[in-house]
Amino acid sequence: MELYRPRHSTAQPWQPARVSPRTVLGLLCAGALSLSACTRRSPAPQLESSGAAGAPPVASSAEAAAAQPVLRHGLPWYEDAPDAAFAAARAQGKLLLVDLWAPWCHSCLSMQSFVLTAQNLPAITRRFILLAIDTERAENAAFLQKLPVTVWPTFYVTSPEGEVLGRWLGTAAAAEFARFLAESDRAAELRNSDRLPPSDPRVALALADQLATRREFAQAAEQYARALALAPADWPRRPETLVAQITSLAKVRADRACLELADGSLAQTGRSVSAVDFAAYALSCADDAAPGDPLAARVRTRTELLMGELCQQSDSALTPDDQAGACANLAEARTALSDATGARAAHEQRVAILQRAGAGKPDSIAVALDWALTDSLITLGRAQEALELSLRRERALPNNYNPPHYQAKALRALGRHEEGLAAIERSLALAYGPRRVSLLSLKIDLLLAAGRKERARDVLVEQVAQYRALPDAQQQPAQLARLEKRLTEWQ
């Protein structure tokens, strides 16, 4: 494939367009969120075979504007070069698909490897310029002020002028994502018309997505609820809209409303990734309920039934990562319901799914499955297997910070704390941005386990300071609050 070279390398940096009420009536925005979502760079990343995840050099503004796309699984992506991507969209009269991702995010990597491919989406470049933004990079923080990310991965479709036409947060099957793109393309045709009546559920959905983009989650939840109330029972977008609603409720800690929605709507989420994501939020809200709460118990029981079906399907349409997510939800629900044997069986099924999916795959693709695989292997008491896997992966992908991180987790489980500290230091040497700061938590745990309490306290002080120093768009207030509380208790 001959890659497009932008003709307008001197274009002004992109700025988002403010959406008017009139325009909202014309939007057909897509909305779906994923909790199963977490969990490569020169001026553009390495090719897909590299598996790199180390800190990249920073491109200058001129270099970024002149950047060319690179192939990733057969599709041309502008990597961390929004000015060049928007210039190309204006020059070619196309929309933009923006992939907000992170190298630590196993769901992001799964989408890139198993869904966002030329084989699955052969016609995507006819209407879309593709832009991938690594949300960990400090130089991308200003872009994230315009198109924020609170769940990984996040996808936006925008016009060449920056108007949001579609939003999909989390993972999707190829057919679902193709539908999202088609609806967003249709939104471009309708955005300046009044052809949709206010009673159309897509109007409320579009407004909800705009509110959520501005982090006005309480108001967004109300509009998602309105869209669902206006829609027919068989509305194809009901599952993803339910996920968007429960996610917004979770963001504002409306735990009771979250549980009530889960209790009444879990059965409406279908048998797609939306069901997996909805269930994950439902279980999280149930965990915050009072002990013995009957509503929380009922939600867990219903979740256990649905996730059992999805986890055990032999011909699942879900990606391996998403089906493994169903098994993780199943294990969590069974644990909460005091079914330890059933929870173990769910973890064993999760391991089997992931091992089958990774067999014969290049290391750069199979590594996307290693976070979940490591988690279940350690839970099952098979930390040595997890360690051996991560050692092999680190040899194959020496510039990827994930394998030594997983190694450190396995070594901690095995009680080999000094070796774990050496592994986490190798990971920290490659990591950057918010992920590097978060990795310090494992270092602290390893230091404490090794009996080095004073050094662990020093690292915690360092971690708090680094979180505070992050750019605004990369701040993690909840995590910072937990660490500050821990530091206060320590002192």
pLDDT of residue 206: 83
In terms of domains, do 182 and 310 share one?
Answer: no
> In CATH, what number is assigned to the domain containing residue 414?
1.25.40
What Rg do the C-alpha atoms of the chain give, in angstroms?
22
98 forms beta bridges with 131, 156
The residue segments making up the domain with residue 401 are 397-491
Note whether 369 and 106 are within 8 A (CB).
Answer: yes
- Predicted confidence at residue 53, as pLDDT, reads 57
Whether 146 maps to a domain, the answer reads: yes
The answer to whether position 236 is within a domain reads: no
Count helices and strands (H / E) in the chain.
Answer: 22, 6
Q: The domain spanning residue 108 has which CATH number? A: 3.40.30.10
Kindly report the pTM of this predicted structure. 0.82
Residues 71 and 148 in one domain: yes
**Domain contains 254:** no
Same domain, 346 and 406: no
Residue 13 belongs to some domain of the structure:
no
Residue 367 and residue 412 in one domain? no
Q: How far apart are CA 296 and CA 163, in angstroms?
A: 40
Task: Give Cβ neighbours of residue 201 (< 8 Å, ≥ 6 apart).
Answer: 226, 227, 228, 230, 231, 235, 237
SS3 content of the chain, % helix, strand, coil (to 5): 60, 5, 35
- 331 CB burial (10 A radius; 0-12, 13-18, 19+): buried
Residues 190 and 112 grouped into a single domain: yes
The confidence score (pLDDT) of residue 473 equals: 86
Nearest to 41 by CA among 6, 72, 8, 9: 72
Three-state DSSP at 357 gives: helix
Total domain count, the chain: 3
Do residues 314 and 354 share a domain? yes
54 plus 136 within the same structural domain: yes
In angstroms, the CA 477 to CA 379 distance is 29
Report the C-alpha gap between 159 and 177 in whole angstroms.
Answer: 18
Q: Which residues of the chain have pLDDT under 70?
A: 1-66, 187-195
Q: Residue 373: inside a domain, yes or no? A: yes
Residues 373 and 401 in one domain: no
Domain boundary among 315, 350, 380: 380
Checking DSSP bridges between strand 154-158 and strand 164-169, what pairing results, if any?
antiparallel
Residues 461 and 313 in one domain: no
Do 82 and 190 lie in one domain? The reply is yes
What phi and psi, each to the nearest 5 degrees, are found at residue 164?
Answer: -75, 125
- Residue 264: inside a domain: no
Burial 386-397 (b: 16+ CB within 10 A, else e): bbebbbebbeeb
Residues 53 and 174 in one domain: yes
Answer yes or no: do 402 and 367 share one domain. no
Q: Which of 337, 353, 380 delimits the end of a domain? A: 380
Residue of 369, 367, 264, 266 whose CA lies nearest to 323: 369
Q: Is residue 389 part of a domain?
A: no
| Residue 16 burial (10 A CB sphere; 0-12, 13-18, 19+) | middle
d(CA 383, CA 388): 9
Question: Does 260 fall in a domain?
Answer: no
Look at residues 212, 263, 216 and name the one whose alpha carbon lies nearest to residue 241.
212
Q: Token pair for residue 418?
A: 């000094």
